[in-house]
Structure 1
Amino acid sequence: MNYRKLEGIIAATVTPVTEEGQLNLEVVARLTHFLIEKGVHGLFPCGSTGEGVLLTTVERKQVAEITVKEAAGRVPVVIHTGSINLTEAIELTTHARDIGADGAALIPPYYYSIDEITMLNYYRAVARQVPDFPLYIYNIPGNVKNAVSPKVVAQLQSEFPNIVGIKDSSMDFMNFINFRQAVTEDFCILMGNDAQIYASLLMGCSGAVAATATVFPEPVVEIYESLKAGDRERALRAQDLVIKLRAIFRSYTHVAPYKKALEFRGIDAGVPHSPLRPLTSEESRKLREQLEDLGLPF
């Protein structure tokens, strides 16, 4: 199957939302242009950073449509379309294909504990509906509760040529190694832990889906580009900076620090989607100080 294989730094984009809880599609477009101009190699809307599970089906489609439209083929766009509801997952995945996205990524069903047969059947059901469309498994057991095993990934790759890769956000580097050994060399493995980009690239990872890149794409892109140019020392310095940046963001409540930091950069991404909360004024002040101390651009 011909498709645009994901390589490099894929920005896990936030979803701009107004204080009234409405999507701000104008800022979605602006953020898309900003990230592409800063050198990211792809876009990943409606994932964890993009609050996809908090959006309605209509809202998820709207974000997907504007992102694909504004990217205009300059970089690949892979939409997160996973859902606990199989019908919704199929609907969103089919929609992503129909609007011209370059692929879809799906978390497993969540809330209920599921076994391997159930997980296989979930991905099989989606893959059969879009046999001509690239799909990526999205492993994030810390949020979903149900971990995708290397055995499941290998089985799905063997059955479906349109299941072309995996984003591993397990935070366990051994999982990346095990996935790599379970699949063929052409299978796309994307690191989902911003602290492990450098190490995973050295071991053959295709790239990374990075939350920090939605705000500060420059140092994240530098990891990949420097390694590509053979400058490991520069790449490692960039990785060390991204590790510090990631630690800052993770010290606050979910999503809010990314949106506030974008505001510092002149992009009003608004507030987190309810029930997530925005930062307090004191938290915002502290966040700005921490980012300034790292010497990051505003």
Structure 2
Amino acid sequence: MTSRLEIWAATPAPFDPEGRLDVSVIPEQVERLRSSGVHGAFVNGTTGEFSALSTAERREVADAWAAACPDGFGLALHVGGTDPAGVRELAAHAESIGVDYIATVAPYYGEAPTLELLVRYLAMVSGSAPGTPLCYYHIPSMTGSSYAPSAVVAAAAETVPALSSVKFTDGDLGELDRIREAAVGITVFLGRDELLPAALSFGVRVVVGSLFNSLAAVAHQVTGAYDRGEHELAFELHRPFREIADLAARHGGLGFVKELLNELGPDLGRPRPPWGPVPDVDRAVAVELAKRLRAPIAAAEAAERTAE
């Protein structure tokens, strides 16, 4: 590889044409990620429609990924949710199958009223998987959390010893920098694919995002150009990420992204409510965008294979 970027793909949930869970496609997901330069999978997160899955379904997805991932390919499981018993069950199950780390969002549908209670929630999750590193998943656009993740990390540093990272799905890169200063040894995963060039200037080298299911090789090319000092080229190569983010904001958000990824392959079925079904007019935009993206994706993947 020409870049030093560590990429984790936030994977979509696989459904059959009737909307039922279909884990048989997960080995194909794994191979697609491995072949395009992805280092690991972040499973059952926002892109994985975790809030539309039952606890049993999330366990089934986790087991299928654990079975399909070869040695050296990372696996992280998001275990957060609104049911404390289910969260603890998912955390303990994740540890039992040997994942690299677990992650959890802050409580939502009513956030924790104090920072202390939020930290106690993180301690509860970690206590069910005490031997597994914990990632705090900061995504205020979904959770509504008003707590700065740097404050969460600083408050949790002593009481949640397994806390090792933050998945930062936010646009305030100054806050991203403050997280790293809040406690020693905290890794910050950038969760906003559309901000990659700016984040590189902040020293980010680990990313987690949905678009890396298809555009990981492009991200490696962006990073390689940035590292060579070709910043204008890096920004131009990154254009597809920004275009996708812009179109997703206007044509269905998470559901639009899943339909785009389906077009780029493999097809993982229609998104569940509330993100789907995506209206035909918006789905047509995803289909057309996929046609335009196939050539730059193929070119980036060919360049990465040559550089290996």
The TM-score normalised by the length of structure 1 is 0.89
Give 1:223 shift: 3.0
What letter corresponds to residue 103 of structure 1 in structure 2? Answer: Y
Q: Identify which range, 286-295 or 159-168, moves more after superposition.
A: 286-295
Tell me how far apart the structure 2 counterparts of residues 248 and 144 of structure 1 sit (CA, whole Å). 22
Give 1:129 shift: 2.9
Which stretches in structure 2 are left out of the alignment for 5+ residues? 299-308
| 1:78-111 deviation digits (Å, cap 9, x = unpaired) | 1111112222212111111111211111001101
Question: What is the SS of the residue equivalent to 1:137?
Answer: strand
Tell me how far apart the structure 2 counterparts of residues 261 and 19 of structure 1 sit (CA, whole Å). 16
Q: Counterparts of 1:185-200 in structure 2 under 5 Å?
A: 186-200=185-199
| 1:97-137 deviation digits (Å, cap 9, x = unpaired) | 11121111100110113221110110111223322111100
Q: 1:81 aligns with which of 79, 82, 99?
A: 79
Determine if the alignment matches structure 1 residue 182 to structure 2 residue 185: no
Match of 2:139 in 1: 140
Determine if the alignment matches structure 1 residue 151 to structure 2 residue 151: yes
Match of 1:287 in 2: 286
Tell me how far apart the structure 2 counterparts of residues 226 and 10 of structure 1 sit (CA, whole Å). 20
Match of 2:88 in 1: 90
| Contact persistence 1:256–1:278 (CA under 8 A) | yes
What letter corresponds to residue 122 of structure 1 in structure 2? Answer: Y
Give 1:261 shift: 2.3
Tell me how far apart the structure 2 counterparts of residues 266 and 151 of structure 1 sit (CA, whole Å). 39
| Contact persistence 1:96–1:104 (CA under 8 A) | yes
Give 1:62 shift: 1.1
Tell me how far apart the structure 1 counterparts of residues 227 and 157 of structure 2 sit (CA, whole Å). 28
Tell me how far apart the structure 1 counterparts of residues 232 and 73 of structure 2 sit (CA, whole Å). 27
| Contact persistence 1:214–1:258 (CA under 8 A) | no
1:194/1:60 CA distance change after superposition, 3 Å: same
Q: Identify which range, 266-275 or 45-54, moves more after superposition.
A: 266-275
What letter corresponds to residue 139 of structure 1 in structure 2? Answer: H
Match of 2:18 in 1: 20
| 1:164-197 deviation digits (Å, cap 9, x = unpaired) | 000111222232122122222x211011111222
Match of 1:63 in 2: 61
Give 1:48 shift: 0.7
Give 1:230 shift: 6.4
| Contact persistence 2:19–2:269 (CA under 8 A) | no
| Contact persistence 1:245–1:291 (CA under 8 A) | no
The TM-score normalised by the length of structure 2 is 0.86
Which stretches in structure 1 are left out of the alignment for 5+ residues? 1-6
Determine if the alignment matches structure 1 residue 168 to structure 2 residue 143: no
Tell me how far apart the structure 1 counterparts of residues 12 and 23 of structure 2 sit (CA, whole Å). 12
| 1:36-59 deviation digits (Å, cap 9, x = unpaired) | 111112211111111011100011
How many pairs were matched up? 292
Question: What is the SS of the residue equivalent to 2:109?
Answer: coil
Question: What is the SS of the residue equivalent to 2:197?
Answer: helix
Match of 2:202 in 1: 203
1:20/1:292 CA distance change after superposition, 3 Å: closer
Tell me how far apart the structure 2 counterparts of residues 67 and 26 of structure 1 sit (CA, whole Å). 10
Tell me how far apart the structure 2 counterparts of residues 264 and 142 of structure 1 sit (CA, whole Å). 26
Tell me how far apart the structure 2 counterparts of residues 78 and 32 of structure 1 sit (CA, whole Å). 13
Aligned-pair identity in percent equals: 25
Question: What is the SS of the residue equivalent to 1:158?
Answer: coil
What letter corresponds to residue 222 of structure 1 in structure 2? Answer: Q
| 1:181-214 deviation digits (Å, cap 9, x = unpaired) | 2222x21101111122222233222411111112
| Contact persistence 2:77–2:101 (CA under 8 A) | yes
Question: What is the SS of the residue equivalent to 1:216?
Answer: helix
What letter corresponds to residue 42 of structure 1 in structure 2? Answer: G
What letter corresponds to residue 140 of structure 2 in structure 1? Answer: P
| Contact persistence 2:218–2:297 (CA under 8 A) | no
Tell me how far apart the structure 1 counterparts of residues 145 and 171 of structure 2 sit (CA, whole Å). 14
Question: What is the SS of the residue equivalent to 1:94?
Answer: helix
Tell me how far apart the structure 2 counterparts of residues 248 and 289 of structure 1 sit (CA, whole Å). 11
1:80/1:230 CA distance change after superposition, 3 Å: farther
What letter corresponds to residue 82 of structure 1 in structure 2? Answer: G
Tell me how far apart the structure 1 counterparts of residues 283 and 200 of structure 2 sit (CA, whole Å). 33
Give 1:226 shift: 4.6
